[in-house]
Amino acid sequence: MATLTYCPRCATSLTTKPDGGRDRIACPDSGCGFIHYGDFSIGCAGVVMRENRALLVQRGWQPFAGSWQIPGGYVEHDEPLTEAVEREVLEESGIRAEVRDVIAFRHSLGGSIGGPSTNLYVVFRLDPIEGEPAFDGDEITGAGFYTLDEMAQMEAVQGLSRWAIEKALASSPGAGLLPESTGPGAGRPGWQLFGL
């Protein structure tokens, strides 16, 4: 990834300054105050179960074209997590589903999974509402509901997806972190709270 040269707020040439115990790329203009804390992304995925079968989609694009995984993708910078995972499940599989709870998350450091940014990947359990598996034939080349035994016979089911499905099957729906409507900051624009 290219190093920042100019401040994204005021276009001043960037330097470094100590902040939080390390040198960080920063704007020297005291009126600006920009400090670059790194590149981050948030991903989300959904385990959707129907009669002890988990929804999987087959990737059509690299990386990992041809592999099977639970549906998911990136959260937009202005999108609540729950809306992002419901959108991704619908876009990739044709299944409209609603968030039940958070069952797992993965944190990967920048560059460790092929991308330049540090990534937090939140795995939700969703309840299916309507629809049948469908796919676009481009980004996604297959979609369906499968048992663990069927997955064992399939080629290239991603380990993280199978792990997440096993976590969902081993816990009661609603046993994970639940979206909360009360508590500190609940109802505040741009905030979502999750708790046990």
- Express each pLDDT in 67-107 by its tens digit: 999 999 999 989 999 999 999 999 999 999 999 999 999 98
Confidence of residue 116 (pLDDT cuts 50, 70, 90): low
Say how far apart CA 53 and CA 60 lie, in whole Å: 22
List the beta bridge partners of residue 17: 24
Give the number of other Cβ atoms within 10 Å of residue 145's Cβ. 19
Query: Rounded CA gap, 74 and 85, in Å?
Result: 9
pLDDT over 90 at 166, yes or no? yes
Domains of the chain: 1-38 (no CATH), 40-176 (3.90.79.10)
- pLDDT at residue number 113: 54
* Contact assessment for residue 87 and residue 100, using Cβ atoms and an 8 Å cutoff: no
* Residues 19-62 pLDDT 10s: 999 999 999 999 999 999 888 899 999 999 999 999 999 999 99
CA 11, distance to chain mean position in Å, is: 32
More confident residue, 191 or 72: 72
Strands (E), the chain: 15-19, 22-26, 40-50, 53-59, 68-69, 72-74, 96-108, 118-130, 140-146, 178-180, 193-195
Q: What local confidence, expressed as pLDDT, does residue 111 receive? A: 61
Residue 193's contacts (CB-CB under 8 Å, 6 or more residues apart) are: 179, 180, 183, 184, 185, 186
Please check the confidence at residue 186 and state whether its pLDDT lies above 50.
Answer: yes
Measured distance CA(81)–CA(43) in Å, rounded: 9
Residue predicted with more confidence, 2 or 140: 140
Name the residue with tokens 């034939």.
137
- Rounded mean pLDDT of 167-172? 96
What pLDDT does residue 192 have? 85
Task: Grade residue 1 by pLDDT with cuts at 50, 70 and 90.
Answer: very low
Query: What average pLDDT does the chain have?
Result: 92
Higher-pLDDT residue of 149 and 196 is 149
Q: What percent of the chain has pLDDT over 70?
A: 95
pTM: 0.86
Predicted pLDDT at 55: 98
Query: Rounded to 5 degrees, what are φ and ψ at 66?
Result: 95, -15
CA–CA gap between residue 55 and residue 47 (Å, rounded): 7
